[in-house]
Chains A and B, each alone.
Chain A
Amino acid sequence: MRIIVDTDKCEGHNRCYSLAPDLIDVDDYGYASAIGDGNVPPELADAARLAVDNCPEYAISIEE
């Protein structure tokens, strides 16, 4: 599973960062990016889905 942030859509709500801090990092302006290549270990799959389901900009997706 991989988590992907569409940086064109991200407006920096930072919901993903607070729900999945092990998967998402934010820059100095609050814009999000996936940590590393976005690989989601099984124990973080729920956190990844929460990040998807709580981003008001629909900027996060998951590739199974």
Chain B
Amino acid sequence: MTDTSDGLDFAAATTEPVEDWATDYDIFDPDYIADPFPIWDDLRGGCPVAHTDRWQGSWLPTKYDDVVALARMVPELSSTDPIVVKPPSDDTADANAYSTVNAPPISSDPPVHTWSRRLILPAFSPKATEAHEPFTRQLCQDLIAQFIDRGEVDAAGEYAQQIPPRVIAHLLGVDPERADDFVEWVNGVLGAGLSRPEVRTHYRGKIREFFMAEIADRKANPKDDLISELLAAEIDGEPVPDLHVAGTCNLLLVAGIDTTWSSIGAALWHLATHSDDRQLLVDDPSKLDNAIEELLRAYAPVTMARVVQEQTEFQGVTFEPGDKILMNFPGANRDPEAFENADVVDLERQRNRHVAFGVGIHRCAGSNLARLEMQVAIGEFLKAIPEFHLAEGANVTWAGGQVRGPRKLPIVF
């Protein structure tokens, strides 16, 4: 995708070939994006905490216990800059735009993290989440009705990608007809924008503008939606600042869309390429919820970053202040020391402490909603289309870096 409505270049980043993954890895390398699993396996055996100078430098842990220990390392590791590639600091106008749209609570440390997370948790509790089931189910059925007679579909672009933006719009109380815009903005932030900070800054600005207008509107006409709820909340007797509300809405849009569409897409990719697993779920839909957990484990999409605050020794390496550490939850989920037959996708796996949603204080606040969307999206798809497989010669493309999932998934049925 190179021509967006704003004329910005969304092409994939170009990378130099990698020869030594332990000392020079590249999260935007096409091999890493398409098939990171053997790379993590090799690293775990030799150099479990890899390092690179590429993309402003970072560390990559690959073992479950290490990733979990690092995720719990607060306050030594800070969440204030969860994206690996920063915009250039000499670009003052952009740098300002960047720093004023933060994304609490994902980009906050305690104590701000504690209250800003508590602010949104009730909207995402298991009980609150159940209320979005009928909307989500109807949405999935309507999407399927648009292509079921065709016998073929791009299951990433025409299905997986269409679901989360509408569910989030429904939850925030904003116009679901803007779903295509949301997808473009989120692509600009977490897709192309990951390796092109100028693209990210541009789209963050658009998202902030959008939510600041929504906030002004809710102040004049409060509604029964999450934006109004956030505006009505008080912290220590004071209303939450508008920019904070805009930042949290920005996070919910960005964190709720790219991630979930990647997970739905990866699950459909797996089922399109593993007919026994597809049949298992068609024959017994009661196995779906457990299967979704295994698909989350095997194809966890999200790798956020931390910034080192003070010099820290860890597993024989020294982190210096300012170093970035990748929270490699997807790699942790493939660690044979933590999972039996870690490389086998076993939809009936019973012991599954996977960390696709992270671990510790930043555990994905939207995990119940994400699970609901996946269960409904995959369940409805299998009900309507019990038999499907990849189109012949299908050109499946994956996005990756910090959020991994299929972006084109042509299937036939």
B126 touches A14 (CB 8 A): yes
- In the assembled complex, A57 has its CB within 8 A of some CB on chain B: yes
A14 touches B368 (CB 8 A): yes
B363 touches A28 (CB 8 A): no
Q: In the complex, what distance in Å separates the CA atom of A43 from the CA atom of B154?
A: 45
What count of chain B residues pass the 8 Å CB interface test? 24
State the Cβ distance, A62 to closest chain B Cβ, in Å: 14
B121-134: CB near A (< 8 Å → 1, else 0) gives 11011110000000
Q: In the complex, what distance in Å separates the CA atom of A7 from the CA atom of B354?
A: 20
A50 touches B350 (CB 8 A): yes
Q: A30-B121, A54-B352 are in contact. Are A18 and B289 (CB under 8 A)?
A: yes
State the Cβ distance, A12 to closest chain B Cβ, in Å: 6
The contact of A29 among B121, B289, B354, B360, by CB within 8 Å, is B121
- In the assembled complex, A22 has its CB within 8 A of some CB on chain B: no
A13 touches B357 (CB 8 A): yes
B354 touches A56 (CB 8 A): yes
Q: A54-B353, A55-B353 are in contact. Are A18 and B126 (CB under 8 A)?
A: yes
Q: DSSP majority for the A interface?
A: loop
A11 touches B353 (CB 8 A): no
Q: DSSP majority for the B interface?
A: helix
The contact of B363 among A12, A17, A27, A53, by CB within 8 Å, is A12
A56 touches B359 (CB 8 A): yes
A19-31: CB near B (< 8 Å → 1, else 0) gives 0000000111110
B105-121: CB near A (< 8 Å → 1, else 0) gives 00000000000001001
- In the assembled complex, B351 has its CB within 8 A of some CB on chain A: yes
The 7 closest A-B pairs by CB, nearest first: A53-B351, A29-B121, A11-B363, A30-B125, A56-B353, A28-B122, A56-B359
- Chain B positions within 8 Å of A, measured between CB atoms, are 68, 118, 121-122, 124-127, 289, 293, 350-355, 357, 359-361, 363, 367-368, 371
Q: List 26 A-B contacts (CB under 8 A).
A: A11-B360, A11-B361, A13-B363, A14-B367, A17-B126, A26-B125, A26-B126, A27-B125, A28-B125, A29-B121, A30-B124, A30-B125, A30-B126, A30-B368, A53-B351, A53-B353, A54-B351, A54-B352, A54-B353, A55-B353, A56-B68, A56-B353, A56-B354, A56-B359, A57-B359, A58-B353
